[in-house]
Structure 1
């Protein structure tokens, strides 16, 4: 996956920002450092990428599942309870809307635009916090997905990683690198293969294993057939040859008798024809 452009609006500590990964100094560097003072928005940049791609961020995994009382007056004259680990909590206070938009090219070479958006009712600071609107647009075909299940499936196909795998490798929260190290061997292998693009070697290895297994099965079947074949001893061969010679002699004698019988039949047939002709002449 290749990041192209990230737009952030009213998200956590960032009020308004655009990061262009294809133009400017970032376009010439394959590796760069995000640095700044505490609260400058370093983690918010990573949050914005995760929200656009997965509608989730590991920052919220550390928050307890408690409720936050929205002190802003809502249009229904009620107060709204929002879970502490709800991603909508990242909307800046005293703002009416927030979003993050990420343009990227997936591992499938398809360009996408992923957008995460949240707002208060009627775009009023006092309005009720609305549900998140999460969309994914295929910039090649112009098709836009709006259903979460469809977006999740398309994102996983484009990025090649689930949210959990993404958080264990690409977007590591502070102190979470141990999660990757403590993963099962199979999980780490799967993640590393996807990151390094070496999964094809596993596929080739699996095909070789399957082909070898098939060849071995065929080899064993042929061996069983060979084992069922009885090789004759010289005495048995001699006895069989003698029996064949005896049978051949019998066949020869039978053919001679057949020849004599056919000659007799022809003679009798001719004799009968002559008797009939003599009777006709009389």
Structure 2
């Protein structure tokens, strides 16, 4: 027995699906730390073939096959034996009461040249070959015929359990001899010896009978021997004719017995039928049965027509296209219509913001011009004030005097500053300067306010343009999505046809 491939899922430590491929491996070693699953691989091979593992303590330890918290374990072993390739499968499940049982077990003879890599494509069990055993009870003899070893000998010389490697070496000579006979296929020589012994016994018995017969023919001469041979030939011819006629005679006798039994059965039925009387209402019942059969036939015909109609409608529904795609396109039309309205509103808002921005820019320019003009007037008033001061120095000095302060000329205290004469150029220049300064400051405030308003309108305009650009991009995307699509009316008609076909 040579393993080719081992598949495990939910088996002890192998919770996930695991495959061990032995193909083209003449020798191999399983290497890993303690608890990594090396012994479990050998347990899986033994379990797939015999349904148990030595360290489980027999079939009562079947629950050990399940991985922790798993409800199903599956093991499949592909192996070669005596030139044939087999696949052994076992499935263990835990039911609702916690009982663990073998749910499926089977052995199949795979067809010659079968590529085991196809097992990765999810083949059904029917594709794996001829079923040799289909139940756990059938598996025992089928595996014994395929492998050539029972469970006890398999676990003594092929898959030796941990701690029992020396059992085979220390077994009794008769036990070791029987294991070697099974391993080397020497049992065939025992069968040959038995058959030869039986044939020798039969030959000796025949020889003894012939010797006795020849002993009683001591007085036979050549003439009597020739006559005996002629009688033997005629008897052989007669025996051949009888042998040829016997099967026909047996068939005739069998036919006669069958006919006699059938005749006896008919006689018995006739005897019973002589006392049979039809009950009342038989005719009405027969008519009712006929009517019911007619109605049943009509109903069956109606069912057939309805099924044909249903199949036709399902075909039409399938040909009508994907309903969800139609709804997506119709929603795209609705979104486009809504977005087009939003885009128009945003466009109007952009235009209004642009107009307001332009008006604010004009007002800002006018305010700046007014500020420049007020600044020019302030400059002119300043020059007039300087000219007036140059013309009337006394009046100009008077502007710097305060009551009780020193005079800048004579340094004498000034008890009371005299009033500026009416009509003085300095007074007029001061008044004009104050007015020009107030106008200039007012113009600057207007410029600042209108400049702030213009900046706010710039931000509003930028936001409106960005929103308009986003809506334009979304509309372009919807236009691309709806390129070549049917009209909304056609889509609604298709959806209505879908609804009608479903009803």
Q: What's the TM-score, normalizing by structure 1? A: 0.57
Equivalent residue number for residue 93 of structure 2 = 119
SS at match of 2:10: strand
Q: 1:223 to 1:176 in 2, by over 3 A?
A: farther
Tell me which residue corresponds to 1:147.
Answer: 135
* CA distance in structure 1 between the aligned counterparts of 2:31 and 2:49, rounded to whole angstroms: 23
Root-mean-square deviation (CA), in Å?
3.4
Whole-Å Cα distance in 2 between the matches of residues 183 and 99 of structure 1?
Answer: 37
The corresponding residue for 1:100 is 75
Cα shift at 1:209 = 4.2
Q: Which has the higher contact order (CA 8 A, sep 6+)?
A: 1
Deviations 1:36-58 (A, max 9, x none): 32212121111101111111111
What is the rounded CA distance, in whole Å, between the counterparts of 1:153 and 1:112 in structure 2?
14
Q: Deviations over 1:87-108 (max 9, x none)?
A: 2223221333322111123447
- Structure 1 pair 115/28, CA: closer, same or farther in 2 (3 Å)? closer
User: How many residue pairs are counted as aligned between the two chains?
Assistant: 199
2:189 is the counterpart of 1:193: no
Unaligned runs of 5+ in 1: 63-82, 231-282
* Structure 2, gaps ≥5 residues long: 112-128, 219-503
Note if contact 2:89-2:106 (Cα within 8 Å) is conserved in structure 1. Answer: yes
- Distance (Å, rounded) in 2 between the aligned partners of 1:159 and 1:102: 13
What is the alpha-carbon distance in structure 1 between the residues aligned to residue 167 and residue 214 of structure 2?
A: 56
Partner SS, residue 101 of structure 2: coil
Q: Tell whether the 8 Å contact from 1:112 to 1:136 is kept in structure 2 after alignment.
A: no
Match of 1:176 in 2: 164
In structure 1, what is the equivalent of residue 63 of structure 2? 88
Using the size of structure 2 for normalisation, the TM-score is 0.34
Alpha-carbon distance in 2 for matches of 1:113, 1:222 = 55
Aligned residues of 2:77 and 2:89 also touching (Cα < 8 A): yes
CA distance in 1 between partners of 2:54 and 2:160 (Å): 8
User: CA offset at residue 6 of structure 1?
Assistant: 0.4
8 Å CA contact retained: 2:107, 2:142: no
Partner of 1:20 in structure 2? 21
In 2: Cα distance, 1:177 partner to 1:218 partner: 53
Task: Give the greater-gyration-radius structure (CA).
Answer: 2
Q: Is the 8 A contact 2:106 2:136 kept in 1?
A: no
Could you tell me whether the CA contact under 8 Å between 2:62 and 2:100 is conserved in 1? no
Q: Check conservation: 1:52, 1:134, Cα contact below 8 A.
A: no
Task: For residue 175 of structure 1, give the secondary structure of its aligned residue in structure 2.
Answer: coil
- Report if the CA contact (8 A) 1:118-1:129 is conserved: no
Output the CA distance in 2 between the equivalents of 1:56 and 1:107: 24
3-state DSSP class of the match of 1:12?
coil
Q: Aligned-pair distance for 1:189?
A: 2.4
C-alpha change, 1:201 and 1:34, in structure 2 (3 Å) is: farther
Q: Distance in 2 between matches of 1:146 and 1:217?
A: 46
Task: Tell me the CA shift for residue 7 of structure 1.
Answer: 0.7
Q: d(CA) in 2 for partners of 1:148 and 1:107?
A: 23
1:19 Cα offset (Å): 1.2
Instruction: Give 1:160 deviation, angstroms.
Output: 1.4
C-alpha change, 1:151 and 1:134, in structure 2 (3 Å) is same
Q: Structure 1: how far apart are the matches of 2:202 and 2:130?
A: 46
Alignment of structure 1 residues 24-173 onto 2, 5 Å: 27-29=24-26, 31-61=27-57, 85-107=60-82, 109=84, 111-121=85-95, 128-138=98-108, 139-140=110-111, 141-143=129-131, 145-173=133-161
Change (3 A) 1:117 1:211: same
SS of residue in 1 equivalent to 2:33: coil
Contact 1:108–1:157 (8 Å) recurs in 2: no
How far off is 1:227 after superposition? 10
Higher fraction of helix: 2
Sort the Cα spacing of 1:42 and 1:151 in 2 relative to 1 into closer, same or farther, 3 A: same
How far off its partner does 1:134 sit?
3.1
